[in-house]
Structure formats: structure tokens, C-alpha cells
Amino acid sequence: MSVPAVQDWSLRSWREKEALQQPTYPNDASLQEALDHVSALPPLVTSWEVEHLKTELARAANGERFLLQGGECAESFGDCRADAITSRLKILMQMSLVLTYGLNTRVVRVGRFAGQYAKPRSSDTETRDGTTLPSYRGDIINGAAFAPEARRPDPQRMVEAYASSSLTLNLVRALTEGGFADLRHPEYWDLDFVQHSPLADEYHAIADAIGDTIDFLETVTDEEIDSVEGVTFYTSHEALLLPYEEALSRTVPHKAGVYNLGTHLPWVGKRTNQPEKAHVEYARGIENPVGLKVGPAMTPSRLKTLIRTLDPEDEPGKLMLISRLGADAIGDKLAPLIQAVQATGQSVLWIADPMHGNTEKTDAGIKTRRFDNVLGELEQAMDIHAAEGSHLGGVHFELTGEDVTECIGGARGLSEADLGRAYESHVDPRLNYEQSMEMAFSIVRKHRRLHD
Ligand code: PEP
Ligand code: CO
């Protein structure tokens, strides 16, 4: 039996701290029943995969890999369908191909999927036309419909979230292990509605060049290139609903410590990243690599405390800082935070989430993000890291392979008036297929301007 290596920590020690953003379940017995059920179910991922990802993140921190993390703001049970899952994989694969080629670096792919079901909310309640109900907190907790029975937290939803995660991961694993992921056939990843867009042409030129290179290498080496290894996907989600995360955290034979085997890469969100509270307490003891959202309220001294708390041994690949400061604030805020990290002497992976600091509401009350602000924050992050002698090792996007109209701008110049056409998100607005591809090409262009 292995013993947790972390001082004064146990899998339940978060329960002694204040846990923000948790639902109030109507009945303790039914909560316990659901948790017992989830605790008895098999793990979704393995400790080997988790350790392998840690190695990859350590490489990304050193500039030997580039991390692409992306997916839905919130998955929904209704989206656990083949078309939604495959189109999300396709866009992530296409972006990663552009990044691999353009940055000349292997890309580590991490999906915001197979467990991204819990959402932090700024208010506990929502009022519409004089009626007040609990806020929607993600499908793992309650339903999005504005009705009392839908909004009541139901612990059985944890069992359903586990099942949907498992079904999603099953398809992801099957597709990426099979011919779908073959780099020689990137046409398998094409999404029907974009065949004739200018970006698709640019993309196909890269895909053809890669195909030619593989053919050439196979000819000269007289061996088949194993291209499948190149398209592994890791899973990630916000570790928000702590009883659920606890139920999926396990010891494993022949290894010390406790692994969260519900996902490879749990992260702590901006609203729950206080060093003295329950989410950081949970995260500091597990063996997984951990992401930490860094918002505009983060101070250099608090960031140092968090680094000491979450990664006291300076373990390679353990800690990933995800800056989400906003295009307006990043110019002032990022450099002092980078300097604080440098002062610790520790090696952490910095990535940029240019989505969450750039959410705004239109006059009509629709939540949106402007492509130019998203790209603007990303380009500034690249500039500031370069100027500080630091390294930006990856990016984090909310995106979808569908042709939605939730963010303004991009090559097709989506305007405020277009938002009504195909706005599907229940939570944050996502980049659509073309906006996501454009983002990948823009990262490459900016990288070349900085380094050539
Ligand atoms: C999110 O990633 O969906 C999220 C809520 O982010 P943040 O914690 O950065 O606000
Ligand atoms: Co979001």
C-alpha cells in the first residue's frame, strides 16, 4: 500500500477547508450513494498516461513541445454524440498539424473534454421575470433549463457525468488509435462545410507537404513511419466539484501517492485558486500535473505562495500556469507575474488562455468575445514572455468544430448581427471552426515574426 508523499495531506483534507462554488445537495444519503457508486467504478485514465503527460509538460516548459489545450467551455450530456465528439477532435487535430509544421515542434494535445461538466458561476442564483432559481452549474450538478426541477442539484448526475466521460473517451481512444488519426490521411479530419474556404486551401497545402515528407522518409528508410503515436489526446477539466474528484482519486499498485484517474490534467479555476482554500488543498496532494488559472487579481506574492504549495519539490511537468488576464490588462499584469515565477527559481509551464479575460456583453445582452482581443492577448503573451526571457509553452482555447456564431470577427468578419444565427453555447462563447484555424495560423505567423 503506497503512502501519500505530501505532508499533512490526505484525500479528504480539503474537507477541512472552505470549498467555494459547491452545490447544496438536498439529501446527504443520496449524495453518499452516488459517491459510493462513482468510487466503485473503474478509472477513466491510467497512472502511466498521467506520468507520461507530466513528462510531456516538462518538455513543453523547456520549449521541446507546444501544448494545445482546447474544447468546450462546458460539455453537456446532450453533446455526448458521435458528430460533436468527432468534429471537436478534427479541429484540434487540424490545428495541431498547423502548429507542428509551423512551429517545428511536436504538439501535445489536451482536450477540454471527457469530464468538463462543472462550471463556476459568479452568482448562486439567476432571476428571470421575477423568478429566482439556483444558477446552472454544469450538467454534472443541475440542468440548464430555467425550471425549479431542472435547477435542483441532483447527485445522480455525477454517475451520468462519469458515464458520458467514459463514452466520450472511448470514441476518442478508438478514433486516435485507428486509421482516422493517420497523418497520411488528414482528409479524414476534414469538416464538410469548409472545403472551399481560403484557410482550408492553406491547410491542405501543409497536409500535402507532410504526406510527401512521410512518403519520402518511408522510401529512403524502407520502413513504415508509425504516425499514430503523434496523435495522442489527453483529457482535462476544471477540478471544481470536489466530492466527485475525490471519488475518482485512487492509489495504484507499485506507485506512491494518489492519482486523479478521472482525467489526466485537472485544473484549478480562477474563482477557486486561493492557496488556503479547499481546491488548492485537494490539488496539492495528487500526483497528476495540475493547471492553475491566473487571472488579473493574482498578485506576484500570492503566485509565489501557490507555486510553493502546489509544487514544493519543483517536480518537472507538475505545474502549468494558465494566464487569462484580458487583452487590456495583460500588458501591465503578466511581466510582474513572470518575474515572480523566475524569482522562485522553479520551472513551470506557462500557457495562455486568451478567452476568459475577453468576455463581454453586447448591447442586446449576448455574451461574446472579439477575435481581435483574443488574438491580441495571445500575441502580447508571446511578446511579453520573449521580452522577459521566459517561455510561452502552449495555448488554451474554448472552441468547437461546428460552424457556430458566438465570437465576433475573424476572416469571415462575423458581426454582432450574426450572433443570433447559430449561437449554441449555454455558457461561454467559443471560436468556431474557421476562427480556430485562423488562430493556429496566426500563432505560427507571430512565432515567425518573433524568431526569424
Ligand atoms: C473556464 O475555463 O471555463 C473558466 C471558468 O475559466 P476561469 O476559471 O479562468 O474563469
Ligand atoms: Co469558459
| Tens digit of each residue's pLDDT (9 = 90 or more) over 137-161 | 999 999 999 999 999 999 999 999 9
User: Distance of CA 264 to CAs 77, 216, 245, 247, 388, Å?
Assistant: 20, 35, 12, 15, 30
- Which residue lies with its CA nearest to atom 4 of ligand 1? 269
Map out the domains of the chain as residue ranges.
Answer: 13-451
pLDDT in tens, 327-359: 999 999 999 999 999 999 999 999 999 999 999
Q: Residue 211's pLDDT band (boundaries 50, 70, 90)? A: confident
DSSP 141-174: T--SSSSHHHHS--THHHHHHHHHHHHHHHHHHH
* pLDDT exceeds 90 at position 179: no
Region of 284 please: left (phi>0), alpha (psi -120 to 50) or beta.
alpha
69 C-alpha to ligand 2 centroid (Å): 13
Question: Which of the residue ranges 184-198, 270-284, 298-312, 432-446 would you say has the lowest mean pLDDT?
Answer: 184-198
Lowest mean pLDDT, pick from 327-331, 410-414, 434-438:
410-414
- Give backbone dihedrals phi and psi of 381, rounded to 5 degrees, phi first: -60, -45
Closest among 334, 313, 353, 282 to 110, alpha carbons compared: 353
Distance separating alpha carbons of residues 161 and 142, to the nearest angstrom = 11
| pLDDT score of 228 | 44
pLDDT for 215: 77
Ligand 1 center–CA 17 separation, angstroms: 22
pLDDT tens for 45-76 read 999 999 999 999 999 999 999 999 999 999 99
The rounded distance, in Å, linking the Cα atoms of 238 and 75 is 12
Q: What's domain 13-451's architecture?
A: Alpha-Beta Barrel (3.20)
Q: In DSSP terms, which residues pair with 367 in a beta bridge?
A: 361
Measured CA to CA in angstroms, residue 247 lies from 103, 244, 385 at distances of 39, 5, 38
| pLDDT value, residue 221 | 77
Kindly give the number of the ligand 1 atom that is closest to the alpha carbon of 73.
3
- Identity at 131, one-letter amino acid code: T
Please determine, for residue 3, whether its predicted confidence score (pLDDT) is greater than 50: no
Cβ contact 305:337 at 8 Å? no
| Residue 37 in this model has a pLDDT that exceeds 80 | yes
Write down the mean pLDDT value for the chain.
92
C-alpha–C-alpha distance, residues 305 and 349, integer Å: 16
- Give the pLDDT confidence score for residue 193 in this predicted structure: 56
Is 364:403 a contact under the CB 8 Å cutoff? no
Ligand 1 mutation pick, 69, 140, 293, max ligand atoms within 8 A of CB: 293
Q: Looking at the DSSP assignment, which residues form a beta bridge with residue 350?
A: 321, 392
Q: Which amino acids bring their CB within 6 angstroms of ligand 1?
A: 73, 120, 238, 269-271, 293, 324, 356
Mean pLDDT of all residues in 40-49: 98
3-state secondary structure of 69: strand
Q: Give strand pairing partners of 322.
A: 293, 351
- Residue from 113, 119, 139, 238 whose mutation best tests the ligand 1 pocket (most atoms within 8 A of CB): 238
Closest-lying ligand 1 atom to the alpha carbon of residue 272? 8
pLDDT tens digits, one per residue of 95-141: 998 999 899 999 999 999 999 999 999 999 999 999 999 999 999 99
For the segment 431-435, the average pLDDT, to the nearest whole number, is 92
In this prediction, residue 204 carries a pLDDT of 79
Beta carbons within 8 Å of 96's beta carbon, 6+ residues apart: 68, 107, 109, 231
